[in-house]
Chain A
């Protein structure tokens, strides 16, 4: 077949048949992940908009509700996620220079830190459940008559941290897959794009949390409630 001869004889992971060179594929896949991340920015953005509006018009109640969250636990969890970004970028670096053992170790560390973050989150959510801060018929926040507005804070809290946690779970899934592929030796300095773009995804999820933490946990803490 004449056109088959012009196409690649063998399609490999690093050079799929629609691409001409491995570099083109790398560029295309990386661009694809960045474009996907824009969609994620806009996806979370809708909730950030809702949060911005309601915090602006119900400032007092939001500050009260925010102070019921444990800022220290939130800060520690933020640090955990930042550490996981550090181990992730070290994993990417290891893949870039072909250090398979280091890649595997850093992927495992990132996974552990990711699970730690999720564990702390689960603990926090459980606390909210105990304190009757989950929106619904049993909701009650002490210290304000505006229970509706207080519920709004917690609706957004659960929606935003929940969406974030969902993305973390997906991220952990990606990392697990990467781990198995690394153990099988699939990644080389010439072909480590999946590690690279998973790193981009992981860092993005971290950035979302970098904004969620101060916005949700640190409203008006100075009022010392």
Chain B
């Protein structure tokens, strides 16, 4: 039994008090919580913009917002959700907290750079927030030129600066993870004994380090063009707007893998624990993370199919885009195979994992549709594409994020969340999500363009369904916010390993001590070796 004395034991949360001990911490666990707080705020902000969009789209004639304001709403929704929420989300919270513990390290390689990463996200976010409060930006999150460089009268510079700064947050996190995985594994923790969550974050870190600098220099060129009128992307000087698109998407396509790969890592952990089985095909899953990271850099031209990019290049990019689906499919097959003859528990993290597998598959398959040149000509810049990427980003990543939050909540806080409410919210989120985004596939296929706030009346039914779904989804997201907070004071006290999971993080008390391990462990068994852990999963 957990005694009151154990609750009073010193851990990373109560080892020191005061604002300074948090704002100047070097502890990766505290930094993870700082990030958690920050990105939750950004998620709420992005959700606010989404709410405005969905309310506006209830009626065909654009009664609530002007066209200009609507342009700002979808732009800021995209900017906040992509750059200030999704990109940091899993790596900076769950990755920061658990990657060192999973490999038996005391902290990341560079704790102060870790803290700097957080500050950079906050500062970048503040620039973005300033831009939004001062009047907003209306270029679309993709900042296509020459509109963003020469014609838009909105706060492009402040927003671009904010994203530029946040980009360095991402780069430094990636750098930290790469060095940590290479140099700080505990004795016996070989590469192929590492949990798949670590492989996923490592692959993500590679993308962050190789791709984000190109976004940074591209935004810098946009800034120079706006401020100094240098004209690198200005057609009137001979500049090529398609060059901007190449530079932008060189990062932004791999960026979607930054957003989804860590989620896949969470799913691997969750599926394994709640089936009481090692992940089927461990090496395939590990290598598929690397394959996604590498192949993801070879396909960016599929965002330029309807630009003046050469058809020949388009064919090459289309062909390669089919290739990058393969490692993702391998993961889905292996997770599913893991379930076979497993001892399945339907705890909340597992429910989210099931949701992830289904919704990510839909998102991934529809990705194949848009990877085809012929189909993309018709569905590009329609709601079909919007539905495609929301199935992956929301149906995939956010569900994986919630799976991870629920799975690791007992370890992070020493408390269990209320299982019944958690399962209910998972259901609400799943239903709300599908009601919101499935109609958008149909809308897009029928021709509803994206970034338009007026539309032909025959589309209204589908839009109303979508907005209804969005309200349900919003409720679903509010519920964990409430019960997680509630659990901090009233939740059942959690032991070191409530799920009887393998993994070094479960060998420490909940919440962990400041230095993670009283003694650095020596690893002698493979990952997901359930013979080392007794008992079944206990679910409240």
Contacts and interface: CB of A to CB of B under 8 A. Distances in A.
Nearest to A16: B111
Nearest to B230: A155
Interface string A115-136: 0000000000000000000011
Contacts of B180: 28
A18 B531 CA distance: 31
Interface in B413-445: none
A31 B209 CA distance: 13
A2 B518 CA distance: 6
B236 interface: yes
Contacts of A45: 213-214, 217
B247 A49 contact: yes
Contacts of B286: none
Interface string B235-262: 0111110010011000000000000000
Interface stretch (A32-40, A84-92, A103-111, A199-207): A32-40
B238 A43 contact: no
B26 to A, nearest CB: 8
Given A39-B212, A45-B214, A54-B238, A4 B515 contact: yes
B158 interface: no
Interface in B272-292: none
Interface string A1-26: 11110110000000001111000100
B232 A156 contact: yes
Contact of B238 (A36, A47, A146): A146
Interface residues of B, number: 49
B213 A42 contact: yes
B106 A46 contact: no
Contact of B183 (A4, A6, A24): A24
B214 A36 contact: no
Between B106, B175, B238, the greatest number of chain A beta carbons within 10 A of the residue's beta carbon is seen for B238
A152 interface: yes
A35 B237 contact: no
Contact of A47 (B217, B239, B517): B217
Contact of A3 (B109, B221, B247, B514): B514
Contacts of B56: none
Contact of B518 (A6, A44, A156, A163): A6
A46 B184 contact: no
Contact of A7 (B106, B184, B228): B106
Contacts of B238: 54, 58, 146, 148-149, 152
A28 B213 contact: no
A34 B228 CA distance: 33
25 contacts: A3-B518, A4-B515, A6-B515, A6-B517, A6-B519, A17-B106, A19-B184, A28-B182, A28-B184, A31-B183, A42-B217, A43-B213, A45-B214, A46-B214, A53-B243, A54-B238, A54-B239, A136-B228, A136-B229, A146-B238, A151-B230, A152-B238, A155-B231, A159-B221, A159-B232
Q: Which 7 A-B pairs have the closest CB atoms?
A: A46-B217, A148-B237, A155-B230, A43-B213, A42-B213, A18-B107, A28-B183
